[in-house]
Amino acid sequence: DTGVSQDPRHKITKRGQNVTFRCDPISEHNRLYWYRQTLGQGPEFLTYFQNEAQLEKSRLLSDRFSAERPKGSFSTLEIQRTEQGDSAMYLCASSLLGTGNTIYFGEGSWLTVV
């Protein structure tokens, strides 16, 4: 069990460019989550998947954001036309199906928009 892995760990992009982050959850974890964390704040929920179905999206997830989990395994989070306010750590997490199961986090993908 290698844990939740995220790629890239760091990304610097110019305003207006598109970026994509990838998350590989713990093997056999049905649920996959995306959170955003800015400096000095706790993580904020963005969206989550159960297998390949996206079951909930936060209001924080504007039209420029899209997340997919096409085969119920890895997931991608794409941000189109990046803005400086998108600069943050994007955290992926996964868990087994079942209310109250522990959610395990990856190390995050740090985005800087210049």
Applying CB under 8 A, which of residues 28, 52, 56, 83 lies at the interface with other proteins? 56
Applying CB under 8 A, which of residues 43, 65, 75, 86 lies at the interface with other proteins? 43
Which stretch in 18-26, 31-39, 67-75, 77-85 sits in contact with other proteins by CB under 8 A?
Answer: 31-39
Residue 84, both tokens: 């400086």
Which stretch in 12-20, 21-29, 72-80, 93-101 sits in contact with other proteins by CB under 8 A?
Answer: 93-101
**Residue 38: which H helix or E strand, with range?**
none
Residue 78 Ramachandran class (φ > 0 left, ψ -120 to 50 alpha, else beta) = beta
**Interaction between residue 74 and other proteins (CB under 8 A):** no
Which stretch in 19-27, 63-71, 76-84, 100-108 sits in contact with other proteins by CB under 8 A?
Answer: 100-108
Rounded to an integer, what distance in angstroms lies between the CA atom of residue 31 and that of residue 96? 6
**Interaction between residue 99 and other proteins (CB under 8 A):** yes
The counts of H helices and E strands in the chain are 0, 11
Render the burial of 19-56: b for 16+ CB within 10 Å, e for the rest: bebebbbbeebebbbbbbeeeeeebebbbbbeeeebee
- Residues in contact with other proteins by CB under 8 A are 31, 33, 35, 40-45, 48, 55-56, 58, 89, 91, 93, 99-100, 102-108, 110
